[in-house]
Structure 1
Amino acid sequence: MVNTYLSREAARKLKHGAPWVRREDIVSIEGTPSLGEAVQLRDEEGQLLGLADVDLEASYAVRRLGSAQEPAEGLIPRHVRHAFERRAHLVDDPRFCRIINDDGDALPGLIVDRYDTHLVVQTLTRAMDARLQEISRALVEVSGAESVLLRNDTSRRRQLGLPAQRPHVLHGNPPRWTRVLELGARFTVDLTYGSGVGYPYDQRELRRFLTRLSPNARVLDPSCHVGGLFVHAGRHGARSILAFDSDADTADLARENAEANGLMGRFQVERGDALDVLHGMQDTFDLVLLDTPEVTTPEGFVEQVRLGLKATRHGGTLLVIGYQPPLPVGGFDDLVAEACEQEERRSFRMARFGLPPDHPTLVGFSGTDYLSGLVLEAS
């Protein structure tokens, strides 16, 4: 096995739980590591620090895979099995959840979402790209999945400088559309061409909280995706819902999901870009559901929150969801406060949300907590 020696400072960081270090932290490498081949990390004195992936072309050249006591043999199946065992204890219905979450499951660069017997995979490092067959085999062996679909066509790969790939099958015969059951609601999602990897499981705790905000509310959802937020609002008493999505096929799925969950006569879903919708909105609502997946800059986020506040009636509720990137680490609250100041709206934070239990992250590394949610009462 290839030995990779790290600087004293990098070794200290790894001993304190760091999931990665940069290329300049490498002192020397004995041999030439192949992509997808775990290497042994050592400090300058030769003490073993653990196992890692090494990719000298990546911004984080060293990504930690295992501890000093862990054998390299069978590492991927072992970590996959542990991820499934975690969800069995932590998630209400582990048939529908994120089953592997990157560094949070000691599998850096690997995302896997579960849709009952179908799994959707996304890889975010070249090392995990090289392991796709091993990953697919381990997933099927551990879970008995009928199919495994690769979705490496997302913007996140492009942001990391990785080539986009067309969706393709790793195992079995994945359906294009499948059903998600969540918190008593059911959704049809597009596994092959839907945004991300099919369904935003990361918003589950926000959807759960909507049961308290929705009774008798007039609801606006300017970026509704397949209806995950507004459907739960409707199921818990919202009297009317106006929703939009920029993609026509996604808007169709949102209508289908609203009807399937008994919202007939209480909802309207139209095609429209969230920013254009908010700019043109003259009415105000009791509850505004502001998801911001299309925002590309902090300034764009502030503008959407400001317009969301404008569409929220006095004493109404604004739910805001932001992502980093593009938002800076630790900057979510400050940007929301800036929007409130610009709109001259005094707001009260009623609740704060992060990632749910099926999205574990590393303590002390806030950059892995990519989603933030706030519930505001806007005066």
Structure 2
Amino acid sequence: MLSTYLSRDAARRLRHGAPWLRREDIVSMEGTPQPGELVQLRDEDGAVLGLGDVDLEASLAVRRLGLPDEAVEGLIPRHLRHAFERRGRLVDDPRFCRIVNDDGDGLPGLIVDRYDAHFVVQTLTRSMDARHQDITRALVEVTGAGSVLLRNDTPRRRALGLPTQRPHVLYGTPPRWCRVLELGARFTVDLTYGLGTGYAYDQRELRRIVGRMAWDARVLDVNCNVGGLFVHAGLHGARHILAFDADADTGDLARENAEANGLLGRVFVEKGTALQALRAVRETFDLVLLDTCRVDSPEAFVEHVQYALRRTRHGGRLLVVGHHPPLPPGGFDDLVATACESEARIATRLARPGLPPDHPTLVGSPGAEYLDAVALEVT
């Protein structure tokens, strides 16, 4: 096995839990490791620090995969088994959740979402790209997967400088349409072409908050996707829901999910972007749901929040969801405050829902806290 030698400061950081290092932290290397080839990470004196992936083309050139005493053999199945057991303890229904969340599960660059017997994989490093067969084999061995689908068609890969590719099957026969059961609701999702991997498991805590704010409310959801948020508003007593999505097919799926959850007659789904909807609608609502996942700049984020505030009645509630990037790390609260000040609205924070337990994050991992959300009462 090749070795990569790290500076004294980098070795110290790695010993203290740092999950990644940059190219300038490398002192010397034995040969050039191929993508997917594990190397031993060593300090300048040759002491072993652990196992890792090394990619000199990546901004984060060194990613740790194993501790100093960890064996190379069976590493992926071992980490996958631990991740699987963790969900069994922490998730309400582990048949429908994220099974592997990048560094948080010791497998940097790997995302795996579970839809009962079907698994959707995303790889976010060249090293994990090279391990598709090993990942598939481990999923079948550890979880008994009926099918494995690769979804490397996301904007996140482009942002990392990785090529995108059409969804394709790694194992079995995955269905295009799949049923998700979560928090007492049922959803049909599109595994092949749906946003992300088909369903936003990372918004589970947001759905809980929506349920608590929705009783007898008139609700506006301007970026509804398959209805993950507004369905829970309806199930918890919302009397009228107006929803929008920019994609007509996704809007059709949202209508189907509303009907499947007994909300026929209370939910109306129309086509339009979030900003188009916020500009076109003139009345105010008791609860406004604003997911800014399609926003491409901090300035556009502030504009969306400004319009959402105008659509929120006096004493009403507003749920704002932001994503990093395009928002700068730590900038979410300031941007929301800027929008409130510009609209002369006083906002009281009711809750700060974050990522659910099936999205563990390693402290210090880049981009780990990629989602910010706040529930506000607006006067």
Q: TM-score, normalised by structure 2?
A: 0.99
Q: Distance in 2 between matches of 1:132 and 1:41?
A: 23
Query: How far apart are the structure 1 equivalents of 2:347 and 2:86?
Result: 38
In structure 1, the residue corresponding to 2:367 is in which secondary structure?
A: helix
AA of the residue aligned to 2:73: E
Aligned 8 A contact 2:20 2:365 in 1: no
CA shift, 1:31, in A, is: 2.1
> Would you say 1:269 and 2:251 are equivalent positions?
no
1:100-111 to 2 correspondences below 5 Å: 100-111=100-111
User: Are residues 211 and 187 of structure 1, via their aligned partners in 2, closer, same or farther at CA, if it must alter by over 3 Å?
Assistant: same
Distance, in Å, in 1 between the alignment partners of 2:280 and 2:366 is 36
Matched, 1:326 2:329: no
Deviation at 1:72, TM superposition (A): 1.1
2:72 paired residue number: 72
Counterpart of 2:58? 58
Is 1:22 the counterpart of 2:22? The answer is yes
- Describe how 1:118-197 pairs up with structure 2 within 5 A: 118-197=118-197
Offset from partner CA, 1:169-224 (integer Å, 9 cap, x none): 00000000000000000000000000111100000011012221011000000000
State the distance in 1 between where 2:275 and 2:10 align.
43
The alpha carbon displacement at 1:11 in A equals: 1.1
Q: Distance in 1 between matches of 2:146 and 2:201?
A: 21
Structure 1 stretch displaced more, 57-66 or 357-366? 357-366
C-alpha displacement of 1:69: 1.4
Return the letter of the residue paired with 1:164: T
Aligned to 2:296: 296
Are residue 33 (structure 1) and residue 33 (structure 2) matched? Answer: yes
Question: Match for residue 13 of structure 1?
Answer: 13
Q: CA deviation at 1:367?
A: 3.0
The letter of the residue matching 2:336 is V
Partner of 1:345: 345
Q: CA deviation at 1:306?
A: 1.0
- Asked whether the 8 Å contact 1:7–1:43 carries over to 2, the reply is yes
CA RMSD of aligned residues (A): 0.8
Give distance in 2, aligned partners of 1:246 and 1:123: 27
In structure 2, C-alpha distance between the alignment counterparts of 1:366 and 1:75, rounded to whole Å: 22
Q: How far apart are the structure 2 equivalents of 1:90 and 1:205? A: 13
CA shift at 1:267, angstroms?
0.8
Kept in 1, the 8 Å contact 2:221–2:241? The answer is yes
1:91 matches 2:95: no
More displaced, 97-106 or 205-214? 205-214
- Equivalent-residue separation in structure 2 for 1:24 and 1:363 (angstroms): 22
Once residues 322 and 10 of structure 2 are traced to their aligned partners in structure 1, the CA distance between those partners, rounded to angstroms, is: 31
Give aligned-pair identity as a percent: 73
The answer as to whether partners of 1:321 and 1:373 remain within 8 angstroms in 2 is yes
- AA in 2 matched with 1:69: D
What is the deviation of 1:353?
A: 1.2
State the Cα distance separating 1:279 from its structure 2 match. Answer: 1.8
Distance 1:168 1:366, change over 3 A: closer
| Aligned equivalents of 1:279, 1:2: Cα separation in 2 | 58
1:81–1:142 Cα contact (<8 Å) kept: yes
- Tell me the secondary structure at the aligned position of residue 122 of structure 2: strand
Is the CA contact (8 Å cut-off) linking 2:209 and 2:353 kept in structure 1?
no
CA-CA distance at 1:281 after TM superposition:
2.1
CA contact (8 A) 1:4 1:26 kept: yes
Q: 1:49 maps to which residue?
A: 49
CA deviation after TM superposition for structure 1 residue 364, in Å: 3.9
Structure 2 SS opposite 1:228:
coil
| Alpha-carbon separation, structure 2, partners of 1:282 and 1:211 | 25
Matching residue of 2:113: 113
| SS of residue paired to 2:348 | strand
* Residue matched to 2:309: 309
1:141 aligned partner, one-letter code: E
Distance 1:106 1:118 in 2: 22
| Residue type at the aligned position of 1:280 | A
- The Cα of 1:365 is off from its aligned counterpart by 4.2
Local SS of the residue matching 1:368: coil
For structure 2, the 5+ residue unaligned runs are: none
Distance 1:31 1:133 in 2: 25
Residues 60-84 of structure 1 deviation map (CA, whole Å, 9 limit, x = unaligned): 1101101111111111111111110
Distance of 2:216 and 2:239 partners within structure 1: 5
Cα distance change of structure 1 residues 366 and 56 upon mapping to structure 2, 3 Å threshold = closer
Tell me the residue number matched to 2:209. 209
TM-score w.r.t. structure 1 length?
A: 0.99
Q: Residue 264 of structure 2 aligns to a residue in which SS?
A: coil
| Moved >4 Å (runs of 4+) | none
